[in-house]
A and B are shown apart, each in its own frame.
Chain A
Amino acid sequence: MFSALLKRELMVARRNWIGIVIPLFFFIMVVSLFPFGVSPEAPVLQKIAPGIIWVAALLSTLLSLEQFYRSDYQDGSLEQTLLIAGPTQVASAKILAHWLLTGLPLVIISPLLGILMQINHGFVESNHTWVLMLSLLLGTPTLCLIGAIGMSLALAANRNGMLVAILVLPLYVPILIFGTSTVTASLENFSYNGQLAILAALLMIALVVSPFAAGRALKISVS
């Protein structure tokens, strides 16, 4: 049942690929603007790079949330899948599909943005690039998991993405802090294991809580 739900999400996204590409382009464009707007010099870019990349990743995730829930709600398939598969399973499949289609591409593309922001000099051989990727690998699923709760609640309130932003942005703050801090610590040659452990812990908590909470919110939204 879960695989059928996931497969459908991926098929719909493949046909509606523009909705997947836009958040990725948004991520790239936002980060690309800073060397032009602030300074192209390596010391300046290195200092601001972790924060810029992480804020862009956060906003990109937020931007992509709406399309993953709104159309199912509008065409009635959300209530049908909730009836047949149950709320937790539906929420889990949507969250996983959302991360695979919008979170994972951010992780994959991040080394290129690392070059642009001059955080590394030897492309993927650089340790900083791996740390950036690892922090995003642990952080972006948590962003999707938390976003799913916000979006499901916003559906219930029949409101647009602005409400989602208000609901989830405060919850994104710890992930932003530890994600940025991980990369900054690496750039300054400090240990970053603690920050990564906290990001992993936040992911574990979100993994346990979010599918259930988002599922309940989805059920409320269709009633």
Chain B
Amino acid sequence: MTNKGLSASDLTISRAEHVLLEGAELELAPSTITYLYGENGAGKTSLMRCLSGLLQADSGKIHWNGQPITNLDSNYFQDLIFLAHALSMKAELTIFENLSFYARLRGVKDPKPLIDSATHDLGIGQLQGRRFAELSAGQQHKVALCRLVIEPAKIWILDEPFVNLDKGTRHWLAELIQQFAKQGGVVLFTSHHEIEELAIDQRIGIEH
């Protein structure tokens, strides 16, 4: 099947009876990096959750490769990585155990080389055996970003992935996103500041 990307049509999303988006149209083609911007509370996260299947839109349709996304059993969700504000790691488990869990959920049989490579690149390789709760906030954020390397996917929906990152990690992430898009991936990310390291293909603004 040819990859037509991710699209949304006539999308209306509301939260607590307040309409955030009305009749929104969205086209996220393969090999494109889309920057979603807007003020706090404008509905960026709600739109991302909606595209990730975690939030039901009031109306409208979302298609992946021309097929509607109707429920969580669809293959679409195996192709998707959604990095939210919550880091989604278990405090009781080590870095390796957390990342290994996500890799195995995606069907990666031997995730160790990928985990070694990703954690080494981010300078947390020697901390693999340490529990997630024992890491600093910055290190925890890096662990969550490692998921982008170890989990195979075709769509990345990233909610403020550049927040609280040092310069080196920002550069690493920008390069990773660029490489992913070059290989045909679809990227949608939010940020309160434009990321100068990243060549953005499409900008979408949401206003109150």
Contacts and interface: CB of A to CB of B under 8 A. Distances in A.
Interface of A: 1, 4-5, 7-8, 11-12, 15-16, 71, 74-77, 79-87, 219, 222-223
A122 to B, nearest CB: 42
Residue picked from A5, A7, A16, A84, most chain B C-beta under 10 Å = A84
A1 B80 CA distance: 16
Contacts of A82: 54, 72
Given A1-B105, A84-B78, A76 B86 contact: yes
Contacts of B160: none
Kindly state the interface size class of chain B when it binds its partner: 20 to 34
Residue picked from A83, A85, A87, A223, most chain B C-beta under 10 Å = A83
Given A222-B54, A223-B54, 6 more contacts: A4-B105, A12-B90, A75-B91, A76-B84, A82-B54, A85-B105
- Interface of chain A, helix or strand or loop or mixed? helix
A138 to B, nearest CB: 31
18 contacts: A1-B105, A8-B93, A8-B97, A16-B92, A71-B91, A75-B87, A75-B89, A75-B90, A76-B85, A76-B86, A79-B86, A80-B84, A80-B102, A83-B82, A84-B102, A84-B105, A87-B72, A223-B49
Contacts, number: 73
Contact of A77 (B72, B90, B104, B106): B90
Contacts of A74: 86
A76 B92 contact: no
A8 B88 CA distance: 13
A74 B86 CA distance: 8
B105 A77 contact: no
B53 interface: yes
Contacts of A85: 105
A83 B97 contact: no
A84 B151 CA distance: 11
Contacts of B97: 8, 11
